[in-house]
Copies of this chain bind each other. A is one copy, B any other.
Amino acid sequence: MIKAGIIGGTGYTGVELLRLLYNHPQVEVVAISSRSLDGKRVDSIFPSLIGQSELSFSLPDSDELNKCDIVFFATPHGVAMEGAGAFIAKGIKVIDLGADFRISDAKEWSKWYGIDHTQNELLASAVYGLPENNRDKVKNATLLANPGCYPTAVQLALKPLISNRLIHLDDIVADCKSGVSGAGRGANQATLLCETSESFKAYGVKGHRHYPEIKQELEIIAGQEVGLTFVPHLVPMIRGIHATIYVDLVDPSVDVRPYFEKAYSNENFVTILNEGVYPETRSVKSSNFCQISIQKIPNSNKLVIMSVIDNLVKGASGQAIQNMNIMFNLNENTGLEQIGLLP
């Protein structure tokens, strides 16, 4: 059994890690930390765990955490940056569900996250973990940067087009929509039910922290600069991300579907929908799947790609477990085979 610990388990990615790891046949969750809730039972905060978990929150420096095989950071940015090194020094693998190791350029990271990056060496060693893109590197990772939710949905939608040079790279528009759980569990007027339900809005239009992450990764695939416009929106629902992506085909007479099918034929978690079927976020609710649809616009060289994920699963905790499975040479699907909840 792999001994796993969670740092910062009071948010939505924390409880989602617990839900999925308790269902994982080869993992035992031995510790979960919270400074503010030290000593308190986890099921008193997350009543879905009543009868399912005897865990209590501990401090982040507890003995149990230091005996883990792997530690997940489900913390705000800046925490994993400072804390990951000590675990790695003890031979413990680290997966950061936050943003501290996603941007390889420390200056760029500082610009978007507002604090200096203090761990250049660790940053250089970190592997960005989108298995469908760089499974081989994930296999050998000690410190893994788990991708953001929007970047996951956008990269999976664009990879077959970019790597096969099928689209113009100077003008990609990613109009993305997220459920409210992406904003976290902190007390915040802006995400009250009465402020977000029965409404829809864009946010971060001028610049959002996932923009440099998406751009960096698309450019790695492309091997050149990419022109990207990224606008996130808030949907009045708990879970789900829907990316609607607009690109211009280099040759509008080319059928791009076979490129998608080939790219994902061996990928368990990515499905290409039939012609004319468009994805719904609810189809992947609670599951680690990504569903993608491609639609050529008639009389135009415009192609629309739509992709959906559950932001807390393939966009966070599920993908972290997928990465863990790869890092520990397990079957990549282990513990991730639950079917999505519908309705």
Determine the chain B residues whose CB is within 8 A of the CB of A233 once the complex forms. 177, 242, 244
Interface 0/1 of A113-129, CB less than 8 Å to B: 00000000000000000
A contact residues, total (Cβ < 8 Å): 88
Interface window among A91-99, A155-163, A287-295: A287-295
A47 and chain B: residue at smallest CB distance: B283
- Copies of this chain present in the complex amount to 4
Pairwise interchain contact A198-B51, C-beta atoms closer than 8 A: no
Pairwise interchain contact A200-B177, C-beta atoms closer than 8 A: yes
Pairwise interchain contact A205-B239, C-beta atoms closer than 8 A: no
Pairwise interchain contact B198-A282, C-beta atoms closer than 8 A: yes
Pairwise interchain contact B195-A343, C-beta atoms closer than 8 A: yes
Determine the chain B residues whose CB is within 8 A of the CB of A203 once the complex forms. 278
Docked complex Cα distance between A76 and B243 (Å): 32
Determine the chain B residues whose CB is within 8 A of the CB of A248 once the complex forms. 171
21 A-B residue pairs with CB within 8 Å = A23-B337, A48-B341, A173-B175, A175-B175, A175-B246, A180-B192, A180-B194, A185-B195, A186-B189, A188-B192, A191-B194, A193-B195, A193-B236, A193-B238, A194-B343, A198-B240, A199-B282, A202-B306, A229-B297, A236-B236, A238-B343
Top-6 shortest CB links A-B: A199-B282, A48-B340, A47-B283, A48-B342, A201-B280, A194-B343
Mark A residues whose CB is within 8 Å of B. 12, 15, 18-19, 22-23, 46-52, 171, 173, 175, 177, 179-181, 185-189, 191-203, 205-207, 227, 229, 231, 233, 235-240, 242, 244, 246, 248, 268, 271, 273, 276-287, 289, 291, 293, 295, 297-298, 300, 302, 304, 306, 308, 337-343
